[in-house]
Structure 1
């Protein structure tokens, strides 16, 4: 499958170099499919580099074996005139100078991996000839200074009576399996639970959710509807989803039970959670999680009163 996809990318790039109007420009910043082509191209270049290194190593191995074989008689002859007086040994030294070194010099001058280097150059040329969608300043999201300070880790919590402890009181189940809880703030109340999800659970959620991912939307208060926005550049899916694999339901139910254990809130059967995958440069502007708006779902289910985030780093997912 990998060579086939690489071929499709190269064919597309060749076509663009001759008829740029017949192919749309690549959106490497926003399109997952276009970024996948870059990933495949990068893999091809890395494979080519590995082959080039192997060719160099093969030449180094040959030269080391030759040097070792030629060094043996030289070391044996040290301080021994009878060794040099032997015509067979003298002939070997003369042969080295007359024949062996001439062939070795020719071998050392031979280029290594020339075809591989040219192949890498062709791949990079095809990428440079691929039309890219220009990213103008109008399309780039505006990030307030508060957001930049958080990203630079310049936000400092004020000293207070914060503790780290094992939570055994929120639900009766935590008496048997307490959770590691770290308090970050008392007002507003913010805590971090460590090692809540296992690696196997994270992998299972990502596996069943990957086919459901699509461009995330935000609520537009003026239009009173959900729509895409440059304020949020990510892919997302709501869970549980009746289109996902049946095998994924148990892990989703376990996560909801864990949310109940952490918060003590009642999680009903209609509760959903959102999985978000941030790509290159993906972000979400500063926002409130509650709506505080007159929309039918708020009247039916109520507004949001708490936020629970799971970070499945380093994959770039949040739930």
Structure 2
């Protein structure tokens, strides 16, 4: 590695600018999951490392050329040094005259050719070849919206996030002024000017705390932040704060009133971004570290019936809500089974999104990667594992589960969430076989964030590896809707949330669990 010098730093800045220009266009049509897929993010990190090595090679080639030019310049500078202060005497010497004439005729031609020689063409070609794997704008927007969900659902400050503090959890990750500015721009374009101001002020504070020429080469000057910050204040009608921002910026200090007037005449169009949803305060509380589960005096027991299997290996059952009943079952799967399931899911979800239908379910109310099992495209051994787990679901719920209704394999990345909803279907789709109950099997621990929240009950269940959560979507005596079990998935703070969901359908219970009373609010 080349030792650090001021010259090397200047060349490094130049190389960053060249790298960004070379990578400016990306025509890849394949959308790759960089938010939830750990393997894709690992590849992205490896790619970044390769690009850095490529950049350092470019720096070394530039430095080699500069060193050659410096040596030639030192040689060609000798006549100037020798003639300084005695030009007439120097030029009267025939040797000096010959040397000067020959040098001006021949040597500078070679210097010109050397300067014209391209440097780093190999490295530039490598960058272009790597363009296909670079994140697209959609990936960046998805990551920023995920950050928005974290901020809103856990009542975070932009300045804390930038320093790596997430809901009292200090991480080693930090944001630069570049990311904070982009977050501010996202909110500005979504007409959320108060939130834009918070991020833009954080961007300015970070830039002032550690000023660097790198940001300007990467397309962000302090004046860019001030300009958008003043526009945000003006959009809210806060003209005096806008003036103060502009006055503090040397580039704008002489034209403050003109800019404020221009901002007023050209106000933003007020387009809303539906992805920047606002979380209800109750939901935010239930997801945050402020929530502490209340101790209950409900049932904890071993489930030993009705299946003969349960007499040999009973399930540890905990009733966590009485009306309507909600249960938790512990140690439903072994650590080896969990590892196998995660390996299957990572393998399938590593597939390009365009190649696997249903893999990427990304809408405003839910952000998750998913697929279904048993799956005929997967090995029989892997499908058998899922069938064994589904049989345990049947045992713990006392309901029959047929192969007609597959298990939903889920992976939530950071910020991954599911807004409040009920799992029954019949209120929107008449005459359809509905979901009596839901079982969620958690496949990893999530000490904080990513919980399953029931706003009506003021209850949040935190994921633990091997824990299964059971609740009812229909009342068991009438099959009417159980609206009180409205639930949501809190956004994931750190890491990845793995889960397996199984819905239990009423058609499967036609001859084993008929409803006992007439329905009141079902559409048949």
TM-score by length of 1: 0.56
8 Å contact kept, 1:185–1:191: yes
Structure 1's 18 and 159: CA in aligned 2 closer, same or farther, altered over 3 A?
closer
Return the alpha-carbon distance in structure 2 between the equivalents of residues 173 and 192 of structure 1: 19
What does the per-residue CA deviation read over 1:34-67, in whole Å, with 9 as the maximum and x for residues that have no partner?
63344436889xxxxxxxxxxxxxxxxxxxxxxx
- Structure 2 residue 22 is the aligned partner of structure 1 residue 19: yes
Question: Hey, what does 2:42 align to over in structure 1?
Answer: 36
Structure 1's 34 and 207: CA in aligned 2 closer, same or farther, altered over 3 A?
closer
SS in 1 for 2:436: coil
Structure 1's 43 and 286: CA in aligned 2 closer, same or farther, altered over 3 A?
farther
Return the alpha-carbon distance in structure 2 between the equivalents of residues 31 and 168 of structure 1: 38
CA-CA distance at 1:309 after TM superposition: 0.7
What does the per-residue CA deviation read over 1:75-126, in whole Å, with 9 as the maximum and x for residues that have no partner?
xxxxxxxxxxxxxxxxxxxxxxxxxxxxxxxxxxxxxxxxxxxxxxxxxxxx
Q: Report matched runs for 1:150-169 at 5 Å.
A: 150-152=286-288, 154-155=290-291, 161-169=297-305
- The alignment's C-alpha RMSD in Å is 3.9
Question: Hey, what does 2:414 align to over in structure 1?
Answer: 280
SS in 2 for 1:209: helix
Return the alpha-carbon distance in structure 1 between the equivalents of residues 49 and 306 of structure 2: 48
Question: Hey, what does 1:147 align to over in structure 2?
Answer: 283
Question: Hey, what does 1:252 align to over in structure 2?
Answer: 386
Structure 1's 131 and 208: CA in aligned 2 closer, same or farther, altered over 3 A?
closer
Q: Report matched runs for 1:23-102 at 5 Å.
A: 23=26, 30=35, 32=37, 35-40=41-46
Structure 1's 318 and 39: CA in aligned 2 closer, same or farther, altered over 3 A?
farther
- Structure 2 residue 447 is the aligned partner of structure 1 residue 308: no
Return the alpha-carbon distance in structure 1 between the equivalents of residues 44 and 283 of structure 2: 29
What does the per-residue CA deviation read over 1:199-228, in whole Å, with 9 as the maximum and x for residues that have no partner?
1111222222334335997xxxxxxxx974
Structure 1's 173 and 229: CA in aligned 2 closer, same or farther, altered over 3 A?
same
CA-CA distance at 1:23 after TM superposition: 2.4
Return the alpha-carbon distance in structure 2 between the equivalents of residues 27 and 144 of structure 1: 31
Give the count of matched residue pairs: 215
8 Å contact kept, 1:147–1:285: no
Specify which of 194, 199, 205 is matched with residue 330 of structure 2.
Answer: 194
SS in 2 for 1:305: strand
For structure 1, the 5+ residue unaligned runs are 1-12, 45-129, 218-225
8 Å contact kept, 2:36–2:414: no
Return the alpha-carbon distance in structure 1 between the equivalents of residues 43 and 415 of structure 2: 17
8 Å contact kept, 1:168–1:178: yes
What does the per-residue CA deviation read over 1:233-290, in whole Å, with 9 as the maximum and x for residues that have no partner?
1111111111122220110111111001110101112121101101122111122112
Structure 1's 151 and 175: CA in aligned 2 closer, same or farther, altered over 3 A?
same
Question: Hey, what does 1:264 align to over in structure 2?
Answer: 398
Structure 1's 41 and 14: CA in aligned 2 closer, same or farther, altered over 3 A?
farther
What does the per-residue CA deviation read over 1:140-180, in whole Å, with 9 as the maximum and x for residues that have no partner?
34322232122125556666540211111242321111111
For structure 2, the 5+ residue unaligned runs are 1-15, 51-134, 145-185, 188-272, 446-495, 501-524
Structure 1's 299 and 154: CA in aligned 2 closer, same or farther, altered over 3 A?
farther
TM-score by length of 2: 0.36
Return the alpha-carbon distance in structure 1 between the equivalents of residues 444 and 49 of structure 2: 23
Return the alpha-carbon distance in structure 2 between the equivalents of residues 31 and 310 of structure 1: 19
8 Å contact kept, 1:216–1:233: no
Q: Report matched runs for 1:112-131 at 5 Å.
A: none
Structure 1's 279 and 42: CA in aligned 2 closer, same or farther, altered over 3 A?
farther
Question: Hey, what does 1:184 align to over in structure 2?
Answer: 320
Question: Hey, what does 1:47 align to over in structure 2?
Answer: none
